[in-house]
Amino acid sequence: MKKYLITFVTVGILLVGCSKEKEKSSPIPPQQSSAIIDGSIIHQTIDGFGFSSAWCGTLSNTKNNALYNTLGFSLLRIRIDQDKTNWGDETSNSAAAHANGVKVLGSEWSPPVSWTSNGQSVGGYLLPKYYGDYANYLKEAANTIGLDWVSFQNEPDMGYIAPNDVVSWSADQMFNFLKNNSLTIGKPIVYAESFCFNDEYTDPALNDTSTVNKFAIVGGHIYGGGLTTHQNAINKGKHVWMTEHYIAHSRDKIDTCLILAQEIMDCMNNQMNAYFFWWVADFDASVNLVNNDGTIYKAGYTGGQFAKWIRPGMVRIETTYNPIPGVYITAYQNGGFVIVALNTNTSSVSQSFTLQNITGINSLNVHRTSSSENMVSKGTVTVSNNTYTYLLPPCSITTFHQ
């Protein structure tokens, strides 16, 4: 999005009364259908979980430590400023990320305005005669700031209505720049970061043999749509990244954090390889993850339930995604073993898990976030004969991990 917030919120579940009092008094239903975790059926490789530092200034050491170490985020998305004003901030943020083993995506909101059709950073488009200059500009940004990937336009389908700092690109314009100029940038390309993951922007390049190898990752946002399996990209060997979305008022509220958690689960279940939160701006009381003084908000702990233990290089394996209404489960392996279980119900659920084609798991560590808990260790659960049963509290996110 931008340095303002537009109220496009995807609501995937309806939650009522996820309070501490409800958690204590809710009845416990009997054991439900078992979730089957099958290690022999492998889906996508996970590239990581990240967030954006756009318009956030230089992140403090305390904030970086909370984001990268306490919560385990492994990807950063920065803004490439069109007039270089904020390159210093983002260079510092990129360096801190790399020092913590985190990789960095740089996205451009607007080219330098002298190259746009209307001389502004919104409403116009990049004049084709400046495509070569723009590619060199992005190369300079990538080398100066320290970027691992470059996206040459954030939300190309939003420039015609956005208040500031987004220019428009048609699918044809994006395709032509990608085909003829993107190699100059010298970094792998994330393409095309549509506002609603519109495949009409990426399919032409995926279907063109001269262009399909000129970008590494299909990226997009899910404002108003796009949370689906982008099968053409997968068929062409591309990883798929959800590079930006926010759930309003999720910073501190468990109800909206559960919507956020299900969105992450849905992205993983739709074979996406990475999920990026929107920014970590201290001035935003709605969607921040961590404050500059190191205070971690509920949304941050929600992300940590995934990012801390689902590490880059792990693979998602086949799971009974929705064994009963209100419960969602995904699982991962490769250098570790992780199950994330989300209970959106206002009652506890006694959920059984059956491990198939998975060996050597005798016990799992348990961490949980709920209305009253923030990535709290809940000890261990014993796995006997490849099965275990666990009481999932109401309105909670539980991570089982080695």
Mean pLDDT of 47-66: 98
Residue 4 confidence class, pLDDT cut points 50, 70, 90 = very low
CA distances from 195 to 1, 88, 128, 346 (A): 8, 27, 23, 33
Using DSSP's 3-state secondary structure scheme, residue 246 falls into coil
What per-residue confidence (pLDDT) applies to 386? 97
β-strand partners of 351: 390
Cβ neighbours for 298, distance < 8 A, ≥ 6 positions apart: 250, 251, 252, 253, 254, 257, 369, 374
CATH C-level class of 20-40+317-401: mainly beta
Using DSSP's 3-state secondary structure scheme, residue 349 falls into strand
Mean pLDDT of 309-321: 98
Q: What is the DSSP string of 190-240?
A: EEEEETT--HHHHHHHHT-TTTGGG-SEEEEE-SSS--S--HHHHHTT-EE
High-pLDDT (> 70) share of the chain, %: 92
Q: Which tens digit of pLDDT belongs to each residue from 236-263?
A: 999 999 999 999 999 999 999 999 999 9
Apex CA 157: angle with CA 153 and CA 158, to 5°?
A: 90
Residue 18 confidence class, pLDDT cut points 50, 70, 90 = confident
Domain spans of the chain, in order of start = 20-40+317-401, 47-312
CATH C-level class of 47-312: alpha beta
Q: Which tens digit of pLDDT belongs to each residue from 58-87?
A: 999 999 999 999 999 999 999 999 999 999
Question: Tokens in use for 211?
Answer: 């262009």
What per-residue confidence (pLDDT) applies to 161? 73
Asked whether residue 27 carries a pLDDT value surpassing 90, the answer given is: no
Asked whether residue 3 carries a pLDDT value surpassing 50, the answer given is: no
Entry pTM: 0.94
